[in-house]
A and B are shown apart, each in its own frame.
Chain A
Amino acid sequence: AQSVAQPEDQVNVAEGNPLTVKCTYSVSGNPYLFWYVQYPNRGLQFLLKYITGDNLVKGSYGFEAEFNKSQTSFHLKKPSALVSDSALYFCAVRDVNNAGNMLTFGGGTRLMVKP
Chain B
Amino acid sequence: DTEVTQTPKHLVMGMTNKKSLKCEQHMGHRAMYWYKQKAKKPPELMFVYSYEKLSINESVPSRFSPECPNSSLLNLHLHALQPEDSALYLCASSPRGRGPSSAGTDTQYFGPGTRLTVL
The answer to whether B105 and A90 have CB atoms under 8 Å apart is: no
In the bound complex, CA of A107 to CA of B4 (Å): 23
CB neighbours of A46 from chain B (8 A): 2, 107-110
A84 at the interface (CB under 8 A from B): no
User: Which residue of B4, B43, B99, B104 is within 8 Å of A105 (Cβ)?
Assistant: B43
Beta-carbon contacts of B79-116 to A below 8 Å, as 1s and 0s?
00000000010101010111111011111111111010
Q: Which residues of A contact B61 (CB under 8 A)?
A: none
A103–B95 alpha-carbon span in the complex (Å): 14
Complex contacts, A36 vs chain B, CB 8 Å: 110
Q: Does A45 contact B (CB under 8 A)?
A: yes
Which one of A18-26, A65-73, A74-82, A93-101 is at the B interface? A93-101
Cβ contacts B50-72/A at 8 Å (1 or 0 each): 10000110000000000000000
**Contact B106 A101, beta carbon cutoff 8 Å:** yes
Distance in angstroms between the alpha carbons of A103 and B40 in the assembled complex:
18
Which residue on chain A has the smallest CB distance to residue B94?
A101
Is B74 in the interface zone, CB < 8 Å from A? Answer: no
Residues on the A chain within 8 Å of B43, using CB? 44, 90, 105
- Distance in angstroms from B117 CB to nearest chain A CB is 13
Cross-chain contact of A101 among B6, B103, B112 (Cβ < 8 A): B103
Chain B, residues 1-36, CB within 8 Å of chain A (1/0): the string is: 010101000000000000000000000000100000
CA distance A108 to B41 in the complex (A): 7
- Given A32-B105, A44-B90; A100-B56 close (CB under 8 Å): yes
5 contacts between A and B (CB under 8 A): A43-B112, A46-B107, A46-B109, A95-B104, A108-B41
Residues in chain B within 8 A of chain A (CB atoms): 2, 4, 6, 31, 40-43, 45, 48, 50, 55-56, 88, 90, 92, 94, 96-101, 103-113, 115
List the interface of chain A (C-beta within 8 A of B).
32, 34, 36, 41-46, 49, 51, 88, 90, 94-103, 105-108, 110
